[in-house]
Amino acid sequence: MIDAEYGDSYCAFLKTSGDLYVSGSNLYSIIGPDAENDYKKDYIPILIAQNVKSFSAGENHIMFIDNDDKLYGLGRMYHGNLGNSYHTEYSDFTFNYNNNAPFYSLDDVKSVVAGDYSSFVIKNDGTFWLTGSDYDNQLGDGDDSTSPHTGFFQIDDHKQDIVDAYSYGNTSFIIDDDGYCYGTGGNSQGQLGIGTMDDGPIDAGKNVFTRIAFEESD
């Protein structure tokens, strides 16, 4: 086993062979075309993809990179988080559009992070890409609009300097190649660490990734 992660009522497992398995609920069409909506199959993992080298499990979507560095996704598409130009109604998931086969979205991908409603990608050339929901400005695109992005895009301030990213719920963080951490999105409890406790940095005029306000110099 190489990796194991969990989403909303499902778990995913990547074996050393490159086989990717999922167990649990299939409410968001993550497991397979023959699966019922609430599919358990004797409560054992089901093979969903092969030749996979890494993956990330979001709340109700899963993103994975194959051995050719191509990025694919399965699951709910309502927020545009698969990066495949679809923004569908709540009940429409990948089985309605692609016979539940994984959707291809990008080439030359080094790493991927699947959040609750978004996906972040670092490509082999070091460029940083993201897609999905922006209802609490968790994409940090500097736009006052909270409409979802339906395809991968770049943000002006961080096109090629990001080495890691993390997203959960309506809050996102990135780390640049100088070791600085930036946050954006929901901040009702001050969880961004940017020196305010506004309900989302847009209320403070900061609907972009903002550097964490550590007391020390870095």
Average per-residue pLDDT for the chain: 81
Amino acid 85: pLDDT = 63
Amino acid 65: pLDDT = 98
pLDDT tens-place string over residues 35-92: 555 555 557 888 889 999 999 999 889 999 999 999 999 888 777 888 876 655 444 4
Measured in degrees and rounded to the nearest 5, phi and psi for residue 54 equal -160, 160
Can you tell me the mean pLDDT for 191-200?
72
pLDDT tens-place string over residues 9-41: 899 999 999 999 998 887 777 775 555 555 555
Q: Which two tokens stand for residue 133?
A: 């929901």
Domains of the chain: 56-211 (2.130.10.30)
In percent, the amount of the chain with pLDDT more than 90 equals 36
* Residue 123: pLDDT over 60: yes
